[in-house]
Amino acid sequence: MSGSRMPLTGFGTWKLREPELEPAIRAALKVGYRHFDGAAIYENESELGRVFQTIISNEQFVSRSELFITSKLWVTSMKPRSVRPACEQSLKDWKMDYFDLYLIHWPFCFKSDTKTGSTLYDVHGVAIIDEECQIEDTWREMEKLVQAGLVKNIGVSNFSLNLLKRILAMSDLKIIPAVNQVELHPYLQQRELRDYCNGINIVVEAYSSLGSGKTAPYLLADESFIEIAKDLK
């Protein structure tokens, strides 16, 4: 990363809503969390911004420089003309001047309504992929966010090894992705991707590290992990 220090453990804000949101953030800060991970698609950045503004400006419990804030570019905002406005909107919602890390959330782009920005669907209810939107073009705009001082570090999320190599192969590449945030847990270890990223100093950041709980098998119900937990008590 570009001189930044990212805390080893982050607090994810997916599905976090009031009335639980503010108490959860305060509890996380109290026990030592300083890295908070958000995204435009989580639809709670305004609420997070309100809480952090109160904590930073009014109560002065922590300073902005103590925090490491991540947000993500959604798939309907990946066309070059949409990248900066999307980032600026997220910054406005968070009530912050910069992000410590800004990620491309997924390696594809959905077509969207030109007026509302809403995702467009086909007759079968499937989101329409925008084939004209290229990852390389999006990345160039991400680099400009760093140059403009809107973000300190840029990276990707949910990128396979081949997709990551597409960015690295750009002839005009200025900034190597600092992070690739992927699903990573004992059932999905992603060894090849991890080894490759470690070899070129790209941080592999895990999400759903204990499983998401959405689909079986449930990692936390695995007898092997239950036994390990008992031994560690």
pLDDT along the chain (233 residues), means of 10: 86 96 98 98 98 93 96 96 98 99 96 82 88 96 99 98 98 98 94 98 95 75 90 88
Can you give the pLDDT at residue 219?
A: 85
Closest CA to 183 of 155, 209, 218, 202: 209
Show the domains of the chain with their CATH numbers. 10-232 (3.20.20.100)
Can you give the pLDDT at residue 116?
A: 79
Reported pTM = 0.93
So which residues are the catalytic ones?
A: 42
Can you give the pLDDT at residue 65?
A: 96
Alpha helices (runs of H) in the chain, residue ranges in sequence order: 21-30, 45-53, 80-94, 135-147, 161-168, 191-199, 223-232
Contacts of 12 (CB under 8 A, 6+ apart): 37, 207
Can you give the pLDDT at residue 213?
A: 65
Can you give the pLDDT at residue 1?
A: 60
Phi (first) and psi of residue 136, to 5 degrees: -60, -40
Can you give the pLDDT at residue 55?
A: 95
Count, residues in the chain: 233
Q: What share of the chain is helix, strand, coil (3-state, %, to 5)?
A: 40, 15, 45
The H-or-E segment that residue 69 falls in is: strand 68-73
